[in-house]
Amino acid sequence: MWLKGFLDGISSTLAPPSGESTPAAVAPPAGHPVTIVWGSQTGTCETLGKKAAKILSGKGHIPTVLDMQQLTPEVIGKSERLLVITSTYGDGEPPDNAAAIHSSIHAEDALRFPALNYSVLALGDSSYPDFCKCGQDFDTRLAALGASRIAPLMECDVDYDDPFDQWVESVGSALAPA
């Protein structure tokens, strides 16, 4: 009798009340695939691209980091979300690995990107007359080709840590599932 009472007590603690089913595990909100591309001459933007990917995957997004050398208009056309991180070299020119895609999207008959959501982080140095020109070019041209800007262009001077953090924060929120 004592043992039966003991076992009944245990089973009533473990079993859900009658009529209720065991609660299903709650799935975390699904993040978005996002392509992060970097244009860089001396590695800073590459480092920032990888850092942005780490932060965004921590927020549940699914980033892919790409050297701008590998970026074509067709790749842009296939991605719904694109984050561009680029420096400026020479007299307002793109870094070497961004030159080809910069030129392709500025062609008269360039592919249009009506389904693309994007944002640009531009690195530069305000001691140059064409401060952050390459980032500005990408930002302006992608909009002209029909893409939607999800967070404003962020221009960074030599102290880029704070603006980088602000930009990642704002793109992270803009990408967050509704």
Ligand X SMILES: Cc1cc2nc3c(=O)[nH]c(=O)nc-3n(C[C@H](O)[C@H](O)[C@H](O)COP(=O)(O)O)c2cc1C
Residues that bind ligand X (CB under 6 A): 40-45, 87-92, 95, 123-125, 128, 130-133
Shortest reach from residue 32's CB to ligand X, in Å: 25
Spatial CA neighbour of 147 closest among 55, 52, 57, 77? 77
Residue appearing with tokens 């694109």:
82
Cα gap 51→117, rounded to integer Å: 20
Cα gap 175→140, rounded to integer Å: 20
Which C-beta is closer to ligand X: that of 66 or that of 110? 66
Which C-beta is closer to ligand X: that of 88 or that of 117? 88
Residue whose CB is nearest to ligand X in the complex, by number: 124
Q: Work out the angle between the directed axes of helices 44-58 and 161-175 (0-180°, nearest 10).
A: 40
Which C-beta is closer to ligand X: that of 44 or that of 166? 44
Shortest reach from residue 42's CB to ligand X, in Å: 3
Which C-beta is closer to ligand X: that of 87 or that of 119? 87
